[in-house]
Structure 1
Amino acid sequence: MKKIDPSFSEHLFRPIYELNTASAWLAGGLTTPFLSTMYSGGGSLPTAMAIGAGMLATGTYHGVKSLPLLKRQLKLSTNKKTFMSVKELRKRNNLEKIMTSGKANKNLRTTFIGSGYSWGSEHANRAYQVMDMDSNMSQVELPFFLKPVVKAMMKETEALGGKPWIHGMGDEKKISVNESNWFGHTCITGNVGTGKTVLLKMISVNALHMGDVLVILDPKNDADWKEAVQKEMEYLGMGDRFYHLHPAKPSSSVRIPLLKNYTRITEIADRIAPLMGSSGTGKAFQDFAYEIIYFTAQGLHYLGEPIRLTTIQKVISSNRRGLAMRVLDKYFKGAVGENYAEQLADEFADINADRLAAMAGYYNQYLAKDNECKAVEGMIQFALHNEEHYVRMVTSLRPVLTSLTADPLDDLFSPIDDIHDVNDTREIVDLADVMERGGCIYISLDSMTDSSTAGFLSRLLLAELAAIAGSRYNSEDKNPRRVTIANDEVHASIENNDAMMNMLAQGRAASMQMFLATQTISDIEAKTDEATARRFLGLCNNFISMRTTDPSTQEYVAAQFAKASVSQQQVRTGTFTDTNSSVLDFSSGYQETLMKTREDAFPPTLLGDLPILQYVARLADGKRLKMRLPIILNDDEDGEVAPWAA
């Protein structure tokens, strides 16, 4: 009967009658020749052998028919970890063919994502059947010879947790998807310890196989993740382009100037001011912070000095008048002459005893009309602002700047390239330069010890990457090197971060793709608001979820799988007697109804029952997948390098 038949009903978890039939035929096939010899002598042996062969063939046929049901029912109660060597992963990703071909074949550019199957209505129907069983699944009686197998696997099954039967609804195979899917950006959710980092590790290695630049923001400094990426870089012959920054290990970290890449000065203020937050009355403080950061950056730019977090912090905290004096000094030397101080000494004295106020007054009275300078005007407004009001307005900004410039972050993210310091061999890495040359930047944010500063840094780093994306977008290079950005615990990076939203909306044009992991959708809503969280999810065309117990996340995942027609069977029985007509008047009835209803194709409650290292996915190309994730093992010999890179 075809599945499109309205009366079709699949019963995968019934007793395996085919196995009983196969056992009977096989037993008959084996015993027939012996019984024939025993009771009839050897004369009928050829005939008995032929009959036995036929019986064995029939038994084998029924045995083969029972195998799918045996496997399916075994998967109801067992689960195990799967492993894959990095060498096999390279083959799956066609690494050698991609690296050695003169021109990359788009059909080869696929990345492995695990073993699984496309979840459809048939799997939904099977799932609802199992959900209707009792907790012990007593309706399914495994053959006696499988019970020892289940018992032997029970310890590993329990360690992986969840309901093992969910993945058993389909027949898994190894799945790879075209890399073009990832340009749509990817959101990954899942409870702690369910396998998000294992997935991110595999995605990172896949990105290296595709030749991407890799930027990793790791809040926990996961040793396995870092080691896997570093070893793969060494195998690819790019070990010298693996850059690691870890605030807890400043002596061995590379250094990254965070405010080096920008197109307009306003970008500097746009990155730093939102770190204060902007809810309620805080909006006025953020606007004030934006303005003074802009004035500071503008002044430094006018002087031709590098714009660093440390410099901005010093100016705003205690040296705004000093910066203003240097800006005005440069301006007056250009507008009046090198000896302006002597020439205008009397005029300055008449205007104000305060030298800075005097120079500001002279500029406004005599020079501004014909020789206007925005940097000078900004410095005047900044430096001469009422002190009492200024101190009150920067109360919220100072702690942010202090945390970003405290030791050792001042040296790591606001480095000074001192060629005379021969003892400091740490490299200063320009993110824009790495984007063009290739390589991997692995940044351990150390959020376990200081979550607030880690959040500030992740937002500034993403803003720096957004600035590079904007520069790429505006350049004439229409095919820049592809960049993969992997950010774990992304909810710490998204608060007041327009740069991230812009990257999600327009990153594809700059050949940038993002993999953003968090625990739940509620985490994102808590850091932003419901509308921003929905926008964030809408901009991520790929959605992957491990086990999650958050209702909002469960509902969102279920919505990605839409609805499916689920078969429901209704049975009605009844008896009836009528003593008014006759004592013997008795009737009974039985009614069986098969109907279909539209239900969630992937029931939300199953998200809370997924075992560790399993996930469901909705991809940009429309696929809905149920997947199991292998653990990637590096089996390279020490120092092994790819043949084409040696």
Structure 2
Amino acid sequence: MAQRYSIEVLLRPAVELYTVAVCAGAALVCLAAPWSLALSPLLGLGSALAFLGYGAIRLRDALVILRYRRNIRRLPRYVMTSRDVPVSQQRLFIGKGFRWEQQHTHRLMQTYRPEFRRYVEPTATYRIARQLEERLEFAPYPVSRLAKVLAWDSPLNPARPLPPVGGMPRLHGIEPNEVDVSLPLPERVGHTLVLGTTRVGKTRLAELFITQDIRRRNAAGEHEVVIVFDPKGDADLLKRMYVEAKRAGREREFYILHLGWPEISARYNAVGRFSRISEVATRIAGQLSGEGNSAAFREFAWRFVNIIARALVELGQRPDYMLIQRHVVNIDALFIEYASHFFARTEPKAWEVIVQLEARLNDKNIPRNMIGREKRVVALEQYLSQVRVYDPVLDGLRSAVRYDRTYFDKIVASLLPLLEKLTTGKIAQLLAPDYSDLNDPRPIFDWMQIVRKRAVVYIGLDALSDAEVAAAVGNSMFSDLVSVAGHIYKFGIDDGLPGAAAGMRVPINVHADEFNELMGDEFIPLVNKGGGADLQMTAYTQTLSDIEARIGSKAKAGQVIGNFNNLIMLRVRESATAELLTRQLPKVEVYATTLMSGATDSSDIHGPTDFTSNTHDRISSTSVPMIEPAHVVGLPKGQAFALMQGGNLWKVRMPLPAPDPDEVMPQDLQQLAGYMRQHYAEAGDWWEGRATPGLQDTPLPDDLLEGFRHIAGTEGAAEEARP
């Protein structure tokens, strides 16, 4: 029977069907010939109903067995259009599944026993069909058509091929009664880590989450902020984001920043907005190595960038990477410009003395440490050494120019490569935008503006073409996001605006695909303290080793992992990564039956009994892990183990995407997605730096550029028209 006992055995013949057949035959006899059973027609009808009722109960038990055996081999198809994705104000939908408990471990252990092998492995018909399919592929034309018949993916095909997801279907088939699995939204502020090897469904899971985040509204009818970092450039992910933004009426708040196509990208200044001026130096110098002897050079770079940033702000200029690089290479020009600004306010006649000092200078009386500097810089230094003038910015610039030029170039040698990565080619137009250029239709955004507008942002870092630049830009954005989160935590999102509500916040959903390639030391405070600003991080990567290799410290990698309260693990190939899940689970007791039989000879040779025999079943229990790392390695595509809500283990499978007829993108975005598909790389390839030949030099069609300029111009006009 199918009822639950201590020893549950569902992998067996459906013997209940024998009872069903007997009950059906008895009911037929009672109806057709009640006289054969010495029954009146009325009693025959009642007996038939009784037989049918009992047969229905046994049929239900038989269907449980048959359904269980079917699921062990093949799961029911689970597809869903994006329109049908449930969007809740309370929960985040993940998929269908069940909570994994002791009985599921017991059932899984049974599938590995030899006596149940025939219920788990493919049938003989299936194996023969696959063998014929392989052979018929190379047969002559009329016969080769049979291969397509055998491969027909239809329930009418008795040898229907399994879906191309690999893995072990038994991991999910052991529980036929699935429920919708979801994560309470208050739990998301504790951050979510998604682990899975290449091409097992991480990006599709991200699409499912992003779809809900874009369409979700709170009780007041306001949307949430959605920020997506995509290093590889997944065209389907971009399409999904735009379609969902349009479906939710948010296409005007949809921004694309793509380093691969700067002509159509929005622009962004990572150091242009700050609460404290020192944040500019922290965001830039924080990306430099701080290990060993490099720590001293990073500290000097921080101080030097801080001096430049303070001077630029005093001069009324917004800091950006281009300005900082220009003054790192030539600090003399900034020193002269700031001195002119300072003396114009405090001592206008100082320049007369400085000009006289400059006229007296020659190669013989210039100090050794100032050789190679402009004469006006030397004259300024001599004047300031004679006149007591205190200004912290001027003193900082003065200390910088007093360094020997050769020595100065050596100690900023680690800073210049970073700035070169961020200011080379057309990328400089994106990361150092010209705010005064009114002819450029590309919008400029910053994170505080994105949060206040409840916008949707897609960040394509084009890591296939240049992984170094992608990592540098990603680090800059993360660092800027940390600063914005700190400001929101202290003052709210509307700080400084008229009628602002004190401490008002909005959920900020950040999805970072391949986040290990974008993270640095600034990522630790982002996940550690970002929850106070309602920042909800969902990070996707392959293995724990990726995080450790990127951050360079096992302790720091453990610190990062320890800040993710929710863990979703798809198929992984590294045992250490699988053990991150399995070691957090308790051991459970599973039961097993052992058949014991024996015979004993009789000691009385003259007695009637020659021997005695006995047979009995022995029930034993064994303590085993709830799941093993091998089970995580054997997950089919699109399936995962989810550890959430304080250690509750769920087995989940995601819905397969189904085409939706109304998912139409503009022609220009369709062309961009086509270009992205042509140059898309696997996650295991792009980070190795193997760029596609000629990708950087491949221009986009003129009609595509013109279409994007039209869209950007329309959005810009709409923004200006808003009160």
TM-score (norm 1): 0.86
Return the alpha-carbon distance in structure 1 between the equivalents of residues 569 and 91 of structure 2.
21
Deviation of 1:157 after TM superposition, in Å, equals 2.8
Counterpart secondary structure, 2:287 = helix
Deviation of 1:134 after TM superposition, in Å, equals 7.4
Return the alpha-carbon distance in structure 2 between the equivalents of residues 450 and 308 of structure 1.
21
Of 52, 67, 71, 1:71 maps to 67
Return the alpha-carbon distance in structure 1 between the equivalents of residues 491 and 160 of structure 2.
57
Aligned ranges 1:285-296 → 2 under 5 Å: 285-296=297-308
Return the alpha-carbon distance in structure 2 between the equivalents of residues 347 and 140 of structure 1.
93
**For residue 546 of structure 1, what is the aligned residue in structure 2?**
570
Residues 309, 319 of structure 2: 8 Å contact kept: yes
- Residues 386/157 of structure 1: CA separation in 2 closer, same or farther (3 Å cut): farther
Residues 111, 120 of structure 2: 8 Å contact kept: no
Return the alpha-carbon distance in structure 2 between the equivalents of residues 125 and 168 of structure 1.
13
Return the alpha-carbon distance in structure 1 between the equivalents of residues 381 and 615 of structure 2.
99
Give yes or no for the alignment of 1:372 onto 2:390: yes
Deviation of 1:387 after TM superposition, in Å, equals 2.3
Aligned ranges 1:161-560 → 2 under 5 Å: 161-170=166-175, 171-208=177-214, 209-210=216-217, 211-316=223-328, 318-337=329-348, 339-346=349-356, 353=366, 354-367=375-388, 371-419=389-437, 421-422=438-439, 424-475=440-491, 477-494=502-519, 496-498=520-522, 500-528=523-551, 529-560=553-584
Of 72, 84, 87, 2:83 maps to 87
Q: Deviations over 1:503-561 (max 9, x none)?
A: 21111211111100001112111212221122112111111111112111111111333
Residue identity in the other structure for 1:15: P
Return the alpha-carbon distance in structure 2 between the equivalents of residues 416 and 240 of structure 1.
22
- Residues 198/140 of structure 1: CA separation in 2 closer, same or farther (3 Å cut): closer
- Residues 451/589 of structure 1: CA separation in 2 closer, same or farther (3 Å cut): farther
**For residue 105 of structure 1, what is the aligned residue in structure 2?**
none
Return the alpha-carbon distance in structure 2 between the equivalents of residues 191 and 587 of structure 1.
59
Residue identity in the other structure for 2:353: Q
Tell me which moved more, 453-462 or 394-403: 394-403
Deviation of 1:345 after TM superposition, in Å, equals 3.9
Return the alpha-carbon distance in structure 2 between the equivalents of residues 153 and 116 of structure 1.
27
Give yes or no for the alignment of 1:603 onto 2:645: no
Counterpart secondary structure, 2:279 = helix
Q: Deviations over 1:135-168 (max 9, x none)?
A: 95457899999x9998948766340110011111
- Residues 574/238 of structure 1: CA separation in 2 closer, same or farther (3 Å cut): same
- Residues 466/60 of structure 1: CA separation in 2 closer, same or farther (3 Å cut): same
Aligned ranges 1:51-200 → 2 under 5 Å: 51-79=47-75, 81-89=77-85, 92-94=86-88, 108-133=89-114, 136-138=117-119, 152=157, 157-170=162-175, 171-200=177-206
Return the alpha-carbon distance in structure 1 between the equivalents of residues 54 and 614 of structure 2.
41
Return the alpha-carbon distance in structure 2 between the equivalents of residues 116 and 493 of structure 1.
32
Residues 125, 566 of structure 1: 8 Å contact kept: yes
Return the alpha-carbon distance in structure 1 between the equivalents of residues 593 and 100 of structure 2.
23
- Residues 576/150 of structure 1: CA separation in 2 closer, same or farther (3 Å cut): farther
Residue identity in the other structure for 2:65: L
Q: Deviations over 1:18-44 (max 9, x none)?
A: 12322332244335545668x899x96
**For residue 639 of structure 2, what is the aligned residue in structure 1?**
614
Deviation of 1:574 after TM superposition, in Å, equals 5.9
**For residue 711 of structure 2, what is the aligned residue in structure 1?**
none
TM-score (norm 2): 0.77
Residues 112, 175 of structure 1: 8 Å contact kept: yes
Q: How many equivalent residue pairs? A: 610
Return the alpha-carbon distance in structure 2 between the equivalents of residues 52 and 182 of structure 1.
57
Deviation of 1:47 after TM superposition, in Å, equals 5.1
Tell me which moved more, 233-242 or 12-21: 12-21
- Residues 608/239 of structure 1: CA separation in 2 closer, same or farther (3 Å cut): same
Deviation of 1:52 after TM superposition, in Å, equals 3.5
**For residue 104 of structure 1, what is the aligned residue in structure 2?**
none
Counterpart secondary structure, 2:199 = coil
Q: Deviations over 1:251-308 (max 9, x none)?
A: 2111111112222232222222232323333333323322322222222222221110
Q: Deviations over 1:381-425 (max 9, x none)?
A: 223322222333333332221111112210011101234x42x21
Residue identity in the other structure for 1:164: P
Return the alpha-carbon distance in structure 2 between the equivalents of residues 546 and 623 of structure 1.
16
Return the alpha-carbon distance in structure 2 between the equivalents of residues 141 and 221 of structure 1.
38
Return the alpha-carbon distance in structure 1 between the equivalents of residues 428 and 452 of structure 2.
26
Return the alpha-carbon distance in structure 1 between the equivalents of residues 269 and 407 of structure 2.
32
Counterpart secondary structure, 1:612 = coil
Return the alpha-carbon distance in structure 2 between the equivalents of residues 153 and 491 of structure 1.
45
Return the alpha-carbon distance in structure 2 between the equivalents of residues 574 and 372 of structure 1.
103
Counterpart secondary structure, 1:194 = coil
Deviation of 1:639 after TM superposition, in Å, equals 8.3
Deviation of 1:603 after TM superposition, in Å, equals 2.1
- Residues 278/70 of structure 1: CA separation in 2 closer, same or farther (3 Å cut): same
Return the alpha-carbon distance in structure 1 between the equivalents of residues 178 and 636 of structure 2.
16
- Residues 132/526 of structure 1: CA separation in 2 closer, same or farther (3 Å cut): farther
Counterpart secondary structure, 1:160 = coil
- Residues 638/388 of structure 1: CA separation in 2 closer, same or farther (3 Å cut): closer
Counterpart secondary structure, 2:74 = coil
Return the alpha-carbon distance in structure 1 between the equivalents of residues 356 and 441 of structure 2.
52
Return the alpha-carbon distance in structure 1 between the equivalents of residues 516 and 159 of structure 2.
36
Task: Structure 1 unaligned segments of length 5 or more: list them.
Answer: 95-107, 641-646
Residue identity in the other structure for 2:454: G
Tell me which moved more, 10-19 or 348-357: 348-357
**For residue 25 of structure 1, what is the aligned residue in structure 2?**
23
Residue identity in the other structure for 2:288: M
